[in-house]
């Protein structure tokens, strides 16, 4: 159980309290002196966020300015997903993603691509479920995948230097690979390997990433095992997969406890196979922390620091992206799977709804400062 005492105890042990509270202090949200992008750059790293095209994010000049100040890499929150780029079969719609890409380029901010294939059927284009693959389903499925990758990677060319090629292939419940309209004709591992081969063909310059949400907590053990199994199979097949994207939606998702020893073991195994690492979607679910804001924010900051200290200790990891810079725009506000039981708004991001820096922002800065420098 999380009590005020043990949250504060953990934070005191982590040495976070004075800095954390200074960040939330009387100045009422003055911009922190050194931007996260600059702290990261000194280490040979990048810091960034997901950015949505809507009125409260890209459409809000204050939010956009915050992103420009803190970040040197962004990723579209939804706008480069297949259903967004091709809502009707054969009718591409690149507008919103292109607008954000043009803005980013103007600001000197890189943009990652997310994602070419999302394995859960729920997140694939609606029309894909009704696709008739005819008498030669294997060839037809491959052709469809090829057309998609050729279209999207051709459209972006070198502007996107890092792609989440496949997202969330492993079912966390049992560690098995998810099935969908493309895996059924092709086979699950084969379809994933094909996705990477196509990405290598049409975006030969790009870093190709397998992205998933396995976490350090004990409840995520099967998920981690399944991801390791998949990465081993892809290696054996010689699929061009360069790195594992660690989504990093951490915090209280289930009854499990964070086990950073297991986490380190997992990252050792992944890097031992020669894969790079990225933190692609970091946020901290605060649902089991008390409602009291100071206590809650301190708990989120402590979890941030503990997690990033271990994860950033791997020098192959060069990108840290959060999934939203400020609480009010976080996807977790409406995410049905793990809501706060007290009905309070969640506080999973480095800035609050008024765009004031929170202790979590300072914890990220501290973890970046403590990370070993990356060599080119």
Query: What is the binding site for ligand XIL (CB under 6 A)?
Result: 77-78, 167, 247, 281, 331
Among left, alpha and beta (phi > 0; psi -120 to 50; other), residue 364 is: alpha
Contact 300, 251 (CB under 8 A): yes
Q: Would you say 133 or 210 has its CB closer to ligand XIL? A: 210
Q: Would you say 33 or 334 has its CB closer to ligand XIL? A: 334
CB of 241 to ligand XIL, least distance (A): 17
CB of 349 to ligand XIL, least distance (A): 12
What residues form DSSP beta bridges with 251? 285
Q: What sign does the dihedral 150-155-158-160 (CA atoms) show? A: negative
Contact 310, 263 (CB under 8 A): yes
CB of 329 to ligand XIL, least distance (A): 9
Angle formed by the axes of helices 293-311 and 359-370, nearest 10°: 20
Ranges of H-type helices in the chain = 4-13, 17-23, 36-42, 61-70, 82-85, 95-107, 137-156, 183-186, 188-202, 221-237, 260-272, 293-311, 359-370
Q: Would you say 77 or 327 has its CB closer to ligand XIL? A: 77
Strand blocks (E) in 243-329: 243-246, 249-251, 276-285, 319-322
Q: Would you say 185 or 251 has its CB closer to ligand XIL? A: 251
Q: Would you say 167 or 183 has its CB closer to ligand XIL? A: 167
Contact 118, 124 (CB under 8 A): yes
What residues form DSSP beta bridges with 167? 118, 211
- Closest-CA residue to 197 (of 154, 146, 244): 146
Among left, alpha and beta (phi > 0; psi -120 to 50; other), residue 343 is: left
d(CA 334, CA 340): 10
Residue 360 three-state SS: helix
Q: Would you say 298 or 304 has its CB closer to ligand XIL? A: 304
Contact 46, 21 (CB under 8 A): no
CB of 318 to ligand XIL, least distance (A): 19
CB of 34 to ligand XIL, least distance (A): 28
Q: Would you say 133 or 253 has its CB closer to ligand XIL? A: 253
CB of 95 to ligand XIL, least distance (A): 18
Length of the chain: 376
Q: Would you say 78 or 107 has its CB closer to ligand XIL? A: 78
The closest residue (CB) to ligand XIL is 331
CA 256 to chain centre: 21
């Amino acid at each position: 159980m999380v009590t005020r005492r043990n949250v504060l105890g953990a934070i005191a042990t982590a040495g976070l309290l004075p800095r954390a509270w200074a960040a939330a202090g009387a100045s009422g949200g003055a911009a922190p002196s050194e931007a996260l992008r600059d702290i990261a750059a000194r280490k040979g790293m990048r810091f960034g966020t997901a950015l949505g095209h809507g009125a409260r994010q890209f459409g809000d000049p204050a939010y956009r300015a915050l992103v420009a100040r803190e970040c040197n890499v962004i990723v579209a929150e939804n706008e480069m997903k297949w259903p967004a780029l091709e809502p009707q079969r054969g009718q591409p719609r690149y507008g919103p993603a292109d607008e954000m890409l043009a803005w980013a380029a103007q600001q000197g901010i890189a943009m990652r691509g997310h994602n070419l294939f999302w394995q859960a059927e729920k997140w694939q284009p609606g029309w894909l479920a009704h696709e008739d693959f005819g008498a030669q389903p294997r060839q037809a499925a491959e052709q469809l995948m090829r057309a998609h990758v050729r279209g999207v990677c051709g459209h972006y060319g070198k502007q996107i230097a890092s792609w989440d090629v496949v997202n969330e292939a492993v079912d966390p419940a049992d560690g098995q690979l998810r099935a969908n309209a493309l895996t059924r004709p092709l086979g699950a591992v084969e379809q994933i390997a094909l996705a990477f081969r196509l990405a290598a063909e049409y975006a030969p310059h790009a870093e190709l990433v397998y992205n998933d949400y396995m976490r350090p907590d004990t409840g995520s053990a099967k998920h981690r095992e399944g991801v390791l199994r998949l990465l081993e199979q892809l290696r054996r097949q010689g699929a061009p997969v360069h790195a594992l994207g660690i989504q990093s939606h951490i915090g209280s998702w289930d009854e499990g406890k964070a086990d950073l020893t297991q986490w380190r073991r997992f990252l050792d195994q992944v890097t031992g196979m020669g894969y790079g690492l990225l933190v692609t979607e970091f946020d901290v679910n605060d649902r089991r922390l008390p409602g009291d804001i100071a206590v809650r924010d301190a708990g989120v900051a402590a979890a941030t620091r503990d997690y990033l200290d271990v994860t950033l200790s791997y020098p192959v990891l060069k990108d840290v992206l959060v999934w939203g810079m400020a609480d009010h725009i976080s996807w977790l506000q409406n995410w049905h799977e793990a809501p706060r039981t007290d009905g309070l708004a969640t506080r999973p991001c480095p800035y609050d709804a008024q765009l004031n820096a929170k202790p979590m922002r300072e914890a990220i800065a501290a973890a970046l400062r403590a990370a070993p420098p990356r060599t080119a």
